[in-house]
Amino acid sequence: MGVAKIGRFPYSLSIMKQVYLDTFGCQMNVADTDRMELVLFHSGYRRTLEKEDADLILVNTCSIREKAEQKIFSLFGGLKPLKMANPDLILGLTGCLGQQEGEKLLKRMPYLDFVMGPDQVDGIAQAVDRVRDTGKSFVWTGFDQEKVYSIPELSLSKSPGPSAFVNIIKGCDKFCTFCVVPFTRGREKSREPEELFEEIRHLVNQGAKEIILLGQNVNSYGKRGLKNPMPFHELLYGIAEIPGVQRLRFTTSHPNDFTRETIRAYRDLDILVNHLHLPVQSGNNQVLKAMRRDHTIEEYRDLLAELKSEVPDISLSTDIIVGFPGETDEAFADTLKVMQEVGYSSSFMFAYSPRPGTPANELPDSVPEETKKRRLQETISLQSRQTAQQGQSFIGKNVKVLIEGRSSKPGYTFKGRNPQYWNVNIQGGESILKAGDTVTVQVETVSGHTLNGTTRQRDAG
Ligand code: SAM
Ligand code: SF4
């Protein structure tokens, strides 16, 4: 059962070895790194923030865009001297780039001890032992053939914090033509609801107030890998029954699998916050078709209209790709148009990056780099204007903030988020507040996607 409990430390801290962990990419990678930290903790490693002190260095990689890959290679260039100076240091590359490139990485970086894929996360301690036992480098990739997707119980090494991620589904079956994820993370598989409920109960017992459900396509939850199929919205209703869950979020959603029942869940469940991240990728039907998103922009708009009729103050964010092969000036203008119509509070905006092995890599009509850059700049400017405009509408208003930790902004005490997922810096409450409290903050200023304001007291509950 996937229970996370604070347990007794298996080792005395003074005799533990040290692991330095670096993460690239999405929240699923962040969650995988956290899991590796936990598995290694049970194997006698504690985390260090100093590379120079480490006995083991792991870089959990991303291959979604070429830029991510370049950054990873340059990071390894900097790690090589450490390995040369200390041959006992173990250097591992994990994650999507590992799955995608495998042996090629050992050829390119012969000083690496091992390469692993995302499905081997729970085997990280075995991989490290194998290096120690054999002294030989190796590649360990491929997909777990088990029918079920389970994250076995391990007691936590530290408190989960007020906002905790929970993986509910792995892999992706969508095969959008631009995307490597189905190749690097394999087929979709969901975790049993009982295992999830138990994990969430334990997280809440250890202090979590907000649960963020994770998956490449959370709306496809429950179709594969369960003893009894269960739709995503039923999982949401089930989580809402767990005492102590104050806020519930999920990411990422796919418009094609987003059901009416999930829209109704927004209406019915108080804990479901009024924010949704719903990637649109493009505002043009031809481009959407070439991306194999399998919906039209009209269908996307209808879905949002229905959602807004149930949750009028819902805030929306999205992912956008510009410069996909065949994207004309007119097609790009459609993307700007949908951004204006929807009024996203924030967006992740990317220039299309051809990825090896994906169908889009074979498409003609590539858009010149200069044009991609210009279009990206235009979307970023539009988004900044829209975010600024929406931010202004919060000024003078009260927002409910779940405190996540100390603020690094001078003059501010704490930071957190409001339900619509805006960052909030808080002034005041130094002696009475702590992480995990929910406070009412009066917004005074805005910078980008961050609200700044003052609170005087903690909310009840
Ligand atoms: N599963 C999610 C979805 O369908 O929206 C997101 C997965 S991906 C990790 C996050 C985002 O990266 C995508 O939504 C897309 O905008 C972007 N992305 C993926 N492949 C890309 C590529 N080849 N070039 C540029 N952006 C890409
Ligand atoms: Fe990639 Fe599409 Fe799957 Fe998202 S839904 S992970 S973009 S293939």
* Euclidean distance between CA atoms 213 and 249, whole angstroms: 6
The residue whose CA is least distant from atom 15 of ligand 1 is: 319
The atom number, within ligand 2, closest to the CA of 216 reads 6
| Pocket-testing residue among 29, 320, 350, ligand 1, by greatest number of atoms within 8 A of Cβ | 350
CA atoms within 13 A on the CB side of 319: 18
Distance 76 CA to ligand 2 centre (A): 28
| Site of tokens 């995988």 | 32
Ligand 1 pocket, 115 CB below 6 A? no
Per-residue pLDDT for 3 more than 70?
A: no
pLDDT in tens, 33-50: 999 999 999 999 999 999
Question: 155-190: b or e for each residue (b if 16 or more CB lie within 10 Å)?
Answer: bbbeebbbbbbbbbbbbbebebbbbbbbbbbbebbb
Ligand 2 pocket, 217 CB below 6 A? yes
Per-residue pLDDT for 456 more than 80?
A: no
pTM of the full structure: 0.94
pLDDT at 230: 95
Ligand 1 pocket, 278 CB below 6 A? no
Categorize the per-residue pLDDT at 14 as very low, low, confident or very high, splitting at 50, 70 and 90: confident
Ligand 1 pocket, 219 CB below 6 A? no
Token pair of 287 as six digits? 């481009």
Token pair of 448 as six digits? 């980008």
For residue 64, report the phi and psi dihedrals to the nearest 5 degrees.
-65, -35
Token pair of 427 as six digits? 């002034």
Categorize the per-residue pLDDT at 157 as very low, low, confident or very high, splitting at 50, 70 and 90: confident
Distance 232 CA to ligand 1 centre (A): 22
The share of the chain scoring above pLDDT 70, in percent, equals 96
Distance 213 CA to ligand 1 centre (A): 18
The atom number, within ligand 1, closest to the CA of 179 reads 20
Per-residue pLDDT for 57 more than 50?
A: yes
pLDDT in tens, 337-390: 999 999 999 999 999 999 999 999 999 878 999 999 999 999 999 999 999 999
* Euclidean distance between CA atoms 67 and 75, whole angstroms: 12
Categorize the per-residue pLDDT at 325 as very low, low, confident or very high, splitting at 50, 70 and 90: very high
pLDDT in tens, 388-403: 999 999 999 999 999 9
Ligand 2 pocket, 216 CB below 6 A? yes
The residue whose CA is least distant from atom 5 of ligand 2 is: 174
Per-residue pLDDT for 335 more than 50?
A: yes
Categorize the per-residue pLDDT at 87 as very low, low, confident or very high, splitting at 50, 70 and 90: very high
CA atoms within 13 A on the CB side of 225: 23
Look at residue 189 and give its three-state secondary structure: strand
pLDDT in tens, 401-412: 999 999 999 999
Categorize the per-residue pLDDT at 156 as very low, low, confident or very high, splitting at 50, 70 and 90: confident
Per-residue pLDDT for 1 more than 50?
A: no
Per-residue pLDDT for 459 more than 80?
A: no
The atom number, within ligand 2, closest to the CA of 175 reads 8
* Euclidean distance between CA atoms 190 and 168, whole angstroms: 6
Bridge-partner residues for 251, per DSSP? 214
Ligand 1 pocket, 281 CB below 6 A? yes
Residues 254-280 have a mean pLDDT of 97
Ligand 1 pocket, 252 CB below 6 A? yes
Categorize the per-residue pLDDT at 6 as very low, low, confident or very high, splitting at 50, 70 and 90: very low
pLDDT at 4: 41
pLDDT in tens, 278-303: 999 999 999 999 999 999 999 999 99
Ligand 1 pocket, 64 CB below 6 A? yes
Categorize the per-residue pLDDT at 158 as very low, low, confident or very high, splitting at 50, 70 and 90: confident
* Euclidean distance between CA atoms 228 and 238, whole angstroms: 15
* Euclidean distance between CA atoms 252 and 276, whole angstroms: 9
Distance 304 CA to ligand 2 centre (A): 20
The residue whose CA is least distant from atom 16 of ligand 1 is: 319
pLDDT at 460: 62
pLDDT in tens, 114-127: 999 999 999 999 99
pLDDT at 152: 84
Q: What is the average pLDDT value for the chain, to the nearest integer? A: 94
The residue whose CA is least distant from atom 13 of ligand 1 is: 319
Per-residue pLDDT for 307 more than 90?
A: yes
Higher-confidence residue of 246 and 146: namely 246
Per-residue pLDDT for 5 more than 90?
A: no
